[in-house]
A and B are shown apart, each in its own frame.
Chain A
C-alpha cells in the first residue's frame, strides 16, 4: 500500500517568508509525528498527534512553528517568518503502534 508522503520534497524560501509543509500519513494510522533533522544532529522531535489532538507541543522550537492535523489524516507544519537556522530536513512519520514509525521522504527546507 501507499506509504507516508510529504510535499514539497524541496523548498527554497527567503528569510522572513512563511512556509507550509504537508504530510499524508498511511491510511488508518492514528499517530503522526514531525521531526527535524539537521546535518549530524539526529532527529529532533517537534510534535506528536494522536488523532487530531496534539498532546505534546513542547518540541516546537519557537512560536513561529505550528502544526495541525485534520480528519485524523493530513497534517501541515507551518513555519512563519522563516530564519536561516530553520534550514533542515523536516520528516513526518505515522504509526499504528507507538514504537514502529513509518517515515516519509522528508521536505528539505533551505532558507536563504
Chain B
C-alpha cells in the first residue's frame, strides 16, 4: 500500500464548476499537508499548505484536512481554464525530512 493515494484522473470540468481533489494517506505522523500545482513542462509550485487538521482558504481555493479519516481535499471554486494543471498532494512529518507526494490529478477546465 502506498503512503499516499491520489486518483490520477484526468478530471474534466466546465469553466465555473467547483472542483474537488482528494488524497488519502496511511501515516498518522504526517503534520503538514500541502497541495502543489504543476503546469505542463514546469516544476511543481506550492499552492497551499495546512498544518494538522482543519480548513484553510485562499481566494478560490480551500484546503481541508481530516486527520481522523486520513483524508485531505482541495476545492477550487469558479474554476478557470488557467486552473488546468496537475495537482499533487504532499505530506510532511517534522520529525523527518521527506515529503511524500501523491501521483497527481490532471485537471482540465474547459472554456
- Asked if B97 and A50 sit within 8 Å, CB to CB, the answer is yes
B32 CB to nearest A CB, Å:
4
Determine the distance from Cα of A55 to Cα of B8 in the docked complex, in whole angstroms.
31
Cβ contact within 8 Å between A105 and B43: yes
Asked if A87 is at the interface (CB within 8 A of a chain B CB), the reply is: no
Selecting from A14-22, A72-80, A95-103, the interface stretch reads A95-103
Scan A74-112; emit 1 where CB is below 8 A from any B CB, else 0.
Answer: 000000000000000001010000111111111010000
Chain A interface bracket (under 10, 10 to 19, 20 to 34, 35 or more): 20 to 34
The residue in chain B whose Cβ has the minimal distance to the Cβ of A9 is B41
* Pair B43/A98 contact, Cβ less than 8 Å: no
Query: Are the CB atoms of A43 and B88 closer together than 8 Å?
Result: yes
Q: Is the CB of A4 within 8 A of B92?
A: no
Is A48's CB under 8 angstroms from B98's CB? yes
B contacts with A, residue count (CB < 8 A): 23
Let me know if B104 and A98 touch, CB within 8 A. Answer: no
- Within 8 Å of chain A (Cβ to Cβ): is B101? yes
- Say how far B108's CB is from chain A's closest CB, in angstroms: 15
Q: When the two chains form their complex, are residues A55 and B97 in contact, meaning their CB atoms are under 8 A apart?
A: yes
A25 to chain B: closest CB distance in Å? 12
Q: Which residues of A10-41 are within 8 A (CB) of B?
A: 31, 33, 35, 40-41
Query: Shortest beta-carbon distance, B17 to chain A, in Å?
Result: 24
Asked if B60 lies at the interface with its beta carbon under 8 angstroms from chain A, I say no
Q: Which residues of A contact B46 (CB under 8 A)?
A: 100-102
Given B36, B43, B88, B102, which contacts A104 in the complex, CB threshold below 8 Å? B43
B: residues with CB less than 8 A from A are: 6, 8, 32, 34, 36, 41-46, 49, 88, 92, 94, 97-104
